[in-house]
């Protein structure tokens, strides 16, 4: 047939099928047209670009790989010529695959071949590649002004010291480049797989350095500058890669890839090998005018782990850009949630479908043991914290090895997103704990749960809050150069797409951030060729951004998330456009580095240094690590902007510091280009403090030049600010195939408890078949506060029971974990002279506090009933006798005792008293904190000597023992706790204190509150990670733990007479009369591997743990390894000293905790001596204003609540660190929210005695609204975290408890106890239609507001009751959360004798559309007598999911 005819016909039909003929044309729209055109298009066109991925290449010779691609495509298309013409890219070096123009039919045929792993259509998502540079304002199309003015960095030479380079990458072609600059003196070093042609006008030089790498396995390396690892190729293309179109990764994104300075030249220096490495200070490079940019490290978020911190280099932190990869998760109930992933479909996954879904717990081997996960999607919830990659690798290995088809991983961060690339097309999705909890709840409610996971999509722009500091980015301060503020700058370093061999891949790390800075410096160098290294550094630091596009402070991903400070990001996030025209620069003569820091390089020689402190070096930042008295700091600025210019100064003083500047105005002209000035920095108080931050800004109408400032006030000869979780096991009690189940029946139908119990027997008889079996099966009958029972049942019996119409819920019994006298004085409840509140409340006299815990040691002096009157007549409880517990063990102080052992089948009762007697000590400790009598002369080995007493020393105690020692852990059963709650309702307690982890849906606690009992729970010891707080039901008070103003400094004297100070509880044994010098050795991290071959017997061992995670994991391992080797002492550098009481285990051997700063100084001393020695003195104790307090403890669990996101938790913080209280006949320290809860209970007892008619809600309101948010110096309370941060409501609720303020709060937010049912009944009666209000739960009249999804303006209702002066007027003060506008109506409340209650509305409006994070504010009602403040937490959302997926 005539080819011309065929072409004409094809053209005609293409017009017809494209609909290009007019509607009245005879070819338009015949009935058969649609079918014919679809067939034509599929068979013959149109063609589009498809990517074929074939996995590992099968030949080492790239030509053979490409030949195999041609052969494969020929078998589909029909001819080799057409196959070659169709292929656009052949991937032949790192893997095997190709991109080819194909029809849809051809792509499907190709996908059927067995060698093909996946076929994906090419997709264009420009945001996936160039986004980081666009985000920084360096757009390529149209080109930004800076790119044009700098000529894209042309002829700037960037040296990449890394793992080498892959010269064939399209990112390094030299098309259009001129001759190599004449100043270049380098070489092209030839080697393995590297010939002369591998250098070019782009890669102008190459060298490699292998000497000294004895352990390198050179079989895994090219002995040349060729990159075997991919890291150097990635960083080089990020800094200076040329413009490359058509880049993609598994079809997830395609577009243009380019470096920051795409016309710069590259010189490659390979020092990174598969094993081994290199390092150096590179002072000489700075002295020779070379700008050196270093990655700051990936050991964040813990502080003091930043490296590459020499003052003459630029140290870079990593930040996130405005790009997100949301991944839709659809549950079988049609609920849609969203996580984050890089999930893409393999060829055999043509369409997402529902698959079985199982809960794998934390997906450890133990958790997955016995769980069938093959072919199922597994939910894993990791509630601990630690190095991110390691945790994910362990989980991923266990899940995928078990044959799972997918993974939903609930974790505290998604900054490890690229780890999901290892999933190889299997759906691996990261979610936060809130989403994880919703998935777990769905699984628990369904017999056959299913889920569908869609491939990831990508979004960019203002919907994604950015920048943020990445969680892995190492944080300051610098331990080697504390007078130099580090890092200097942050730059994009998360999910950066750049070259690797012939392809492009994502990578994350400060390694990706450093080349971003190098690219920017290249542009600046091209624009300002005469600027010095210091000038370039100054330009990027002083113009950096500290706010995002919405003018909100940049956040730092941390544990928990925080507002970024200079130790997170230096000057801020890099701003290339601003850096091109900074106005002023802080310049430095390179020789000045030697004057100030030469001794840091030439350590053991006499070196010529200035007498000035190092902070006088003219850096664009100021760091004062030990401010004790007023100092003057010198700086000078050079004008590089308009010749005639006037600059004003603006000072933001660090908290606790006053700063002034002289002169405050700088005037520049043609003859005056440089100005010097002085900054006077004065401490406002004497305190051993932490770093606080401020800034100095010079500004005029054209420029703003800002430098960050960090200051730490000290009063002693040391820097360090050195002021637990209980082990548990979740073991289910099982009798054969029977388990203990709890049946909840709601309100009791009889007042007579015997009739209630009989109805339980009858009901269970109908299920089991005989009354005898029913009686034998029941463990507890709940008959006082509500109706229900706990019984041993098979799963089938439990299901039959649940089907009865009277039964609201049947839940399996759960094992829960135990949580664990200065504190009362610190809270203002001084005993001598007696505080006013103590006197007015009569020390809590006759208030009954119920302790649900491990029992009590009745002989302790803290429970003496001397001087007590008769037991209150309202008491209806009993004194249950048992092992080592007789009638005399109850008293007028301990007025009742019960114990509950059912459901703890695995308990080793040989290690327990079968009675209310406390063998563990925990319950004795908590009871004495809440209500212990006054005991003089208490101490632990001479430490913390003073008077021990409880908060309400005249209160009565009722003891309910539910916790038992099982040998390896402490356990309690939810059935036993429920029985204790039920009995407590009957017995007549006023307050219940529970330092345990109990069921969030505890209907027992709700009934107790509705019967007028105030319940206080410990919030848990899983901090500092967010979303792990438990016991968060809205009807209870949830307590966080804080630190008090007491410290236990311990002096360490090194052999060079240097004195350092740590923290310990070290005391001398009787046979140690005097401290002496002993040998000192460096044990590294003191793992078995690190100590192998090191003689430590009789020596003090230095251990430095530079990773992070649950504290006890480190401490137990280190203690065991060090002391089993016969060490005579331990100096342990760790990220926190909040586990100080663990050093009690050292039994008189010196165990001292220090921070990494002190640890580094000890290590430096050891390295400088041939025979290092140290002497450790016993600890002593200091209290008062020298110790900055309160602070939220690092272990204290943080909000938000995953169970009740509309309820702000915790409610309050109270002392919980190193609390001295009773244990058996003695006294001991203990730490935990377990210690915080009885502090709150003690305060409530005083308030209950003072205001006996106040409801539970009124008491809760009083402590929340009067809480302290500032310390004694008026500074915001801090929260120990990774790194330390200013506390927010998810750390401490309303603040730190203030008993005296709570006694007279002015206004209270009261709640009818039945309102809890209106808002939250469905949380208890899960699977039935329940009677609830139509209002959102945040309308419950709580003394806080939490809005987890603010999308549009809303109004929140509240009401306050006047309990102060009868005639009173209150004004409102609003602190709106960032990004939210809040108004209150009416703004003024007037009370009088007839108007005791006022209602008001709080209007909230989001100020922008963004998928945001929680931000915090407050609403305060105040007059001349009272201040009533409630915390507010708001999260702006724009999608149908809560998760922060940005």
Question: Which residues are catalytic, by number?
Answer: 162, 231, 511, 853, 922, 1234
Q: Are 947 and 938 in contact (CB under 8 A)?
A: yes
Burial (Cβ within 10 Å: 0-12, 13-18, ≥19) of residue 852: buried
Q: Where are the alpha helices (DSSP H) in 1169-1254?
A: 1233-1250
Q: Please provide the DSSP assignment of 999-1056 as one string.
A: -TT-HHHHHHHHTT-EEEEE--S-TTSSS------TTSEEEEEEE-SEE-EEEEEETT
Q: Are 232 and 272 in contact (CB under 8 A)?
A: yes
**Coil, strand or helix at 495:** coil
Burial (Cβ within 10 Å: 0-12, 13-18, ≥19) of residue 329: buried
- Encoded tokens for 779: 């463990």
CA neighbor of 1434 nearest in space, from 1419, 1410, 1446, 1417: 1417
DSSP class of residue 694 equals E
**Coil, strand or helix at 1077:** coil
Q: Are 501 and 169 in contact (CB under 8 A)?
A: yes
Residue 509 region by backbone torsions, left for phi larger than 0, else alpha for psi between -120 and 50, else beta: left
Q: Are 656 and 713 in contact (CB under 8 A)?
A: yes
CA 1335 to mean position of chain CA atoms: 32
CA 700 to mean position of chain CA atoms: 39
Burial (Cβ within 10 Å: 0-12, 13-18, ≥19) of residue 595: middle
**For the chain, counts of helices (H) and of strands (E):** 33, 75
**Spatial separation of the C-alpha atoms in residues 1158 and 1298, rounded to whole Å:** 35
Dihedral sign from CA coordinates of 144, 146, 150, 152: negative
Q: Are 740 and 836 in contact (CB under 8 A)?
A: no
Q: What residues contact residue 980 under an 8 Å CB cut-off, 6+ apart?
A: 850, 852, 898, 900, 960, 962
**Spatial separation of the C-alpha atoms in residues 1066 and 1148, rounded to whole Å:** 6
Residue 797: half-sphere exposure toward Cβ, Cα within 13 Å? 23
Burial (Cβ within 10 Å: 0-12, 13-18, ≥19) of residue 1088: exposed
Q: What residues contact residue 148 under an 8 Å CB cut-off, 6+ apart?
A: none
Per DSSP, what are the bridge partners of residue 815? Answer: 973
**Spatial separation of the C-alpha atoms in residues 75 and 489, rounded to whole Å:** 54
- For residue 616, the surrounding DSSP H or E stretch is none
Q: How many CB atoms lie within 10 A of CB 516?
A: 30
CA 1378 to mean position of chain CA atoms: 20
Instruction: State how far the alpha carbon of 1227 is from the alpha carbons of 843, 923, 1140, 1230, 1446, in Å.
Output: 22, 13, 16, 10, 49
- Encoded tokens for 404: 């799972």
Q: What residues contact residue 1253 under an 8 Å CB cut-off, 6+ apart?
A: none
**Coil, strand or helix at 1257:** helix
**Spatial separation of the C-alpha atoms in residues 1085 and 1104, rounded to whole Å:** 5
């Amino acid at each position: 047939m005539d080819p011309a005819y065929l072409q004409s016909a094809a053209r005609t039909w293409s017009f017809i099928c494209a609909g290009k003929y007019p509607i009245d044309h005879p070819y338009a729209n015949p009935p058969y047209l649609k079918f014919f055109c679809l067939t034509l298009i599929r068979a013959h066109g149109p063609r589009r670009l498809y990517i074929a991925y074939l996995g590992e290449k099968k030949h080492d010779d790239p030509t053979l790989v490409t030949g195999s691609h041609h052969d494969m495509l020929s078998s589909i298309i029909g001819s080799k010529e057409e196959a070659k013409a169709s292929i656009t890219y052949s991937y032949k070096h790192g893997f095997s695959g190709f991109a080819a123009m194909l029809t849809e039919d051809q792509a499907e045929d190709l996908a059927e071949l067995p060698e093909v792993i996946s076929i994906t259509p090419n997709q264009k998502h420009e945001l996936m590649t160039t986004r980081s540079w666009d985000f920084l304002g360096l757009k390529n199309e149209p080109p930004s002004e800076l790119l044009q003015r700098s000529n894209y960095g042309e002829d700037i030479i960037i040296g990449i010291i890394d793992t080498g380079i892959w010269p064939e990458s399209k990112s390094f072609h030299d098309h259009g480049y001129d001759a190599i600059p004449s100043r270049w003196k380098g070489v092209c070093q030839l080697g393995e797989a590297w010939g002369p042609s591998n250098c070019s006008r782009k890669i102008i030089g190459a060298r490699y350095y292998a000497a000294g790498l004895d352990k390198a396995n050179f079989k895994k390396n090219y002995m040349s500058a060729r990159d075997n690892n991919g890291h150097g190729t990635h960083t080089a293309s990020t800094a200076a890669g040329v413009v490359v179109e058509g880049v993609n990764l598994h079809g997830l994104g395609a577009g243009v890839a380019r470096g920051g300075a795409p016309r710069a030249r590259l010189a490659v220096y390979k020092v990174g090998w598969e094993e081994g490495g290199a390092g150096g200070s590179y002072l000489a490079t700075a002295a020779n005018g070379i700008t050196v940019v270093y990655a700051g490290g990936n050991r964040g978020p813990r502080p003091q782990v930043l490296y590459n911190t020499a003052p003459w280099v630029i140290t870079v932190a990593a930040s996130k850009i405005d790009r997100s990869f949301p991944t839709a998760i659809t549950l079988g109930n049609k609920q849609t949630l969203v996580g984050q992933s890089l999930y893409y479909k393999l060829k055999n996954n043509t369409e997402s479908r529902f698959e079985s879904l199982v809960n794998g717990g934390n997906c450890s081997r133990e958790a997955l043991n016995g769980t069938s996960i093959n072919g199922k999607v597994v939910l894993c919830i990791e509630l601990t914290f630690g190095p991110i990659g390691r945790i994910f690798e362990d989980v991923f290995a266990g899940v995928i090895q078990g044959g799972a088809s997918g993974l939903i991983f609930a974790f505290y961060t998604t900054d490890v997103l690229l780890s999901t690339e290892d999933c190889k097309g299997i759906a691996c999705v990261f979610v936060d704990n809130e989403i994880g909890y919703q998935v777990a709840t769905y699984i628990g409610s369904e017999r056959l749960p299913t889920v569908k996971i869609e491939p990831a999509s990508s979004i960019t722009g203002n919907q994604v809050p950015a920048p943020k500091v990445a969680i892995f980015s190492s944080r300051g301060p610098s331990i080697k150069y504390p007078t130099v503020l580090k890092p200097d700058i942050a730059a994009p370093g998360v999910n950066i797409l750049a070259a690797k061999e012939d392809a492009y891949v994502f990578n994350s790390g400060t390694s990706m951030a450093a080349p971003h800075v190098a690219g920017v410096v290249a542009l600046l160098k091209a624009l300002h060729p005469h600027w010095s290294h210091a000038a370039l550094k100054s330009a990027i630091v002083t113009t950096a951004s500290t706010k995002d596009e919405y003018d909100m402070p940049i956040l730092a991903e941390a544990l928990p998330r925080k507002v970024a400070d200079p130790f997170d990001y230096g000057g801020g996030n890099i701003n290339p456009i601003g850096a091109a025209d900074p106005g002023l620069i802080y310049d430095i003569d390179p020789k000045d580095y030697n004057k100030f820091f030469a001794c840091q390089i030439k350590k053991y020689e006499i070196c010529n240094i200035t007498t000035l402190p190092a902070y006088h070096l003219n850096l664009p930042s100021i760091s004062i690590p030990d401010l004790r008295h007023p100092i003057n700091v010198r700086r000078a600025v050079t004008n590089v902007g308009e010749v005639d210019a006037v600059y004003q100064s603006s000072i933001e003083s660090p908290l606790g510091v006053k700063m002034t500047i002289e002169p405050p105005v700088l005037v520049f002209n043609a003859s005056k280009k440089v100005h010097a000035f002085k900054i006077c920095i004065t401490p406002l108080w004497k305190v051993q403090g932490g770093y606080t931050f401020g800034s100095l800004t010079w500004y005029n109408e054209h420029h703003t030049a800002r430098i960050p400032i960090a200051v730490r006030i000290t009063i002693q000869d040391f820097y360090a600010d050195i002021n637990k979780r209980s082990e548990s096991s979740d073991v289910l009690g099982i009798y054969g195939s029977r388990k203990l189940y709890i049946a909840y029946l709601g309100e009791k139908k009889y007042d007579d408890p015997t009739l209630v119990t009989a109805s339980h027997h009858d009901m269970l008889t109908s299920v089991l078949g005989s009354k005898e079996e029913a009686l034998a099966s029941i463990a507890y009958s709940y008959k006082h506060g509500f109706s229900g029972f706990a019984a041993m049942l098979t799963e089938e019996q439990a299901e039959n029971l649940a089907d009865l119409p009277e039964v609201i819920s049947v839940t399996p019994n759960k094992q829960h974990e135990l949580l664990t006298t200065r504190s009362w004085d610190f809270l203002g409840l001084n005993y001598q002279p007696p505080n006013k509140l103590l006197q007015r409340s009569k020390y809590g006299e006759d208030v009954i506090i119920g302790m649900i815990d491990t029992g009590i040691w009745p002989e302790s002096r803290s429970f003496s009933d001397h001087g007590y009157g008769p037991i209150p007549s309202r008491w209806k409880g009993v004194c249950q006798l048992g092992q080592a517990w007789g009638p005399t063990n109850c008293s007028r102080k301990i007025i009742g005792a019960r114990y509950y052992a059912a459901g703890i089948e695995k308990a080793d009762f040989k290690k327990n008293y079968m009675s209310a007697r406390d063998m563990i000590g925990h319950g004795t400790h908590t009871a004495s904190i809440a209500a212990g009598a006054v005991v003089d002369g208490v101490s632990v080995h001479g430490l913390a000597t003073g008077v021990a007493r409880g908060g309400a020393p005249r209160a009565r105690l009722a003891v309910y023992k539910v916790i038992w020692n099982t040998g390896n852990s402490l356990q309690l059963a939810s059935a036993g706790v429920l029985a204790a709650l039920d009995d407590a309702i009957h017995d007549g307690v006023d307050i219940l204190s529970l330092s345990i982890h109990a069921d969030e849906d505890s209907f027992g606690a709700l009934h107790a509150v509705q019967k007028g009992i105030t319940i206080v729970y410990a919030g848990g010891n899983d901090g500092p990670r967010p979303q792990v707080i438990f016991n968060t039901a809205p009807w209870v008070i949830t307590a966080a733990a804080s630190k008090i103003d007491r410290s236990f400094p311990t002096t360490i004297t090194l052999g060079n007479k240097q004195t350092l100070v740590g923290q310990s509880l070290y005391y001398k044994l009787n046979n140690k009369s005097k401290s002496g010098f002993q040998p000192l050795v460096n044990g590294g991290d003191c793992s078995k591997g690190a100590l192998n071959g090191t003689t430590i017997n009789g020596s003090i061992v230095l251990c430095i743990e530079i990773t992070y995670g649950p504290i006890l994991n480190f401490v137990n391992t280190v203690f065991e390894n060090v002391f089993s080797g016969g060490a005579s002492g331990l100096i342990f550098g760790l990220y926190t000293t909040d586990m100080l009481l663990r050093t009690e285990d050292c039994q008189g051997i010196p165990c001292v905790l220090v921070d990494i700063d002190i640890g580094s100084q000890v290590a430096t001393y050891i390295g400088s001596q041939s025979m290092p020695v140290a002497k450790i003195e016993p600890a002593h104790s200091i209290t008062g204003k020298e110790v900055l307090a309160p602070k939220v403890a690092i272990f204290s669990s943080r909000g938000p609540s995953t169970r009740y996101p509309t309820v702000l938790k915790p409610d309050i913080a109270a002392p919980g660190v190193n609390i001295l209280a009773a244990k058996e006949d003695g006294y001991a320290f203990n730490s935990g929210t377990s210690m915080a809860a009885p502090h709150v209970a003690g305060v409530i007892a005083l308030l209950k005695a003072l205001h006996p008619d106040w409801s539970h809600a009124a008491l809760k309101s009083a402590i929340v609204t009067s809480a302290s948010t500032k310390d004694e110096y008026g500074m915001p309370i801090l929260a120990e975290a990774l790194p330390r941060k200013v506390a927010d409501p998810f750390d401490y609720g309303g603040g730190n408890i203030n008993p005296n303020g709570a006694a007279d709060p002015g206004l209270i937010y009261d709640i009818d106890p039945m309102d809890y049912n209106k808002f939250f009944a469905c949380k208890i009666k899960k699977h039935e239609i329940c009677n609830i209000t139509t209002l959102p739960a945040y309308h419950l009249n709580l003394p806080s507001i939490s809005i987890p999804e603010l999308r549009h303006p809303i109004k929140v209702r509240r009401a306050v009751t006047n309990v102060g002066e009868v005639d009173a007027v209150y004004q409102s003060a609003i602190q709106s959360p960032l990004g939210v506008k809040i108004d209150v109506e009416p703004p003024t409340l007037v009370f009088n004798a007839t108007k005791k209650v006022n209602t008001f509305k709080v209007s909230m409006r989001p100020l922008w559309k963004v998928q945001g994070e929680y931000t915090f504010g407050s609403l305060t009602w105040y007059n001349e007598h009272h201040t009533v403040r409630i915390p507010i937490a708001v999260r702006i959302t724009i999608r149908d999911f809560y998760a922060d997926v940005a």
